[in-house]
Chains A and B, each alone.
Chain A
Amino acid sequence: DQQVKQNSPSLSVQEGRISILNCDYTNSMFDYFLWYKKYPAEGPTFLISISSIKDKNEDGRFTVFLNKSAKHLSLHIVPSQPGDSAVYFCAAIGKDFNKFYFGSGTKLNVKP
């Protein structure tokens, strides 16, 4: 039973436009949410996170929004760049802070 879901396996966006990646979760006890970026042949690298007590966190071109009532989070990338093309995973952490629950990933393709 997947507790974190990314329903869009792929997304294609034009360079300079906004990329919106979505993630849904089922467990209301999750405390912390993270987004990871993964290039082929490399491990995931941490991108941005948000605590469950916030609804928005911004870091440069990346903004994560959290809607707790809808159990939904999204990652906005503005403006999108070709170097952003990668697979993006969202993840949630339970109360023990030592166990990740990952989504299945969304492959983002930013076209020049």
Chain B
Amino acid sequence: KAGVTQTPRYLIKTRGQQVTLSCSPISGHRSVSWYQQTPGQGLQFLFEYFSETQRNKGNFPGRFSGRQFSNSRSEMNVSTLELGDSALYLCASSPTGRATEQYFGPGTRLTVT
């Protein structure tokens, strides 16, 4: 079974731009969660989608948004990029949404200059 895939793997953007990251979950998994990893802060939960509905949301500003498609693929969008948005963005998929069954992708490294 193919694992969780994320595209692109690396991205460089300029402050003020917007960016869209993509996550393809493991086949059959209906839940996709997004996390931001920065040095010193560890992984911080952004949001979780289950069957195209946002079910949980972390404490991030409205510039961070996401969506999930009918095939469970998910996208995350960050508008008006700030330097502090530079991070590794990880997505994780799960068959049921239970956090104990999450499988992580390799991440997208976003650098904002």
- A residues contacting B by CB (< 8 A) are 2, 4, 6, 9, 32, 34, 41-46, 49, 89, 91, 93, 96-105
Given contacts A43-B92, A44-B90, contact A102 B44 (CB under 8 A): yes
Please judge, given known A-B contacts A89-B42, A98-B56, A105-B42, whether A45 and B100 are in contact too, CB under 8 Å. Answer: no
A90 to B72, CA, bound (A): 27
CB of B107 within 8 A of chain A? yes
How far is A89 from B105 in the complex, measured between Cα atoms in Å?
16
Cβ contacts under 8 Å, A105 to chain B: 42
Q: Is B64 on the interface with A (CB-CB < 8 A)? A: no
Shortest distance from the beta carbon of A63 to any chain B beta carbon, whole Å: 18
Establish whether residues B43 and A43, one from each chain, have CB atoms under 8 Å apart when the complex forms.
no
Is B48 close to A, CB under 8 A?
Answer: yes
C-alpha spacing A49/B99, complex, angstroms: 11
With a cutoff of 8 Å between Cβ atoms, the chain B residues found around residue A104 in the complex are 40-42
Q: Give the residues in chain A near B43, CB-CB below 8 Å.
A: 44, 89, 91, 100, 102
Between-chain CB contacts (< 8 Å), 6 pairs: A2-B42, A4-B42, A43-B104, A89-B42, A98-B98, A103-B42
A41 touches B106 (CB 8 A): yes
Complex Cα distance A13/B27, Å?
39
**Contact indicator A97/B98 (Cβ below 8 Å):** yes
A4 contact set on B, CB distance < 8 A: 42
CA distance A45 to B42 in the complex (A): 15
Q: How far is the CB of A109 from chain B (nearest CB, A)?
A: 17
User: B40 and A99: CB pair below 8 A?
Assistant: no
Contact assessment for B48 and A99 in the assembled complex, using a CB-CB cutoff below 8 Å: yes
B63 at the interface (CB under 8 A from A): no
Q: Does B16 contact A (CB under 8 A)?
A: no
B99 cross-chain contacts in A, Cβ below 8 A: 32, 34, 91, 93, 97-100
| B58 interface residue per 8 A CB criterion | yes
Which of B4, B41, B45 is close to A100, meaning CB atoms less than 8 Å apart? B45
Task: Name B42's contact: one of A6, A42, A46, A98 (CB within 8 Å).
Answer: A6
**Residues of chain A lying within 8 A (CB to CB) of residue B98:** 97-98
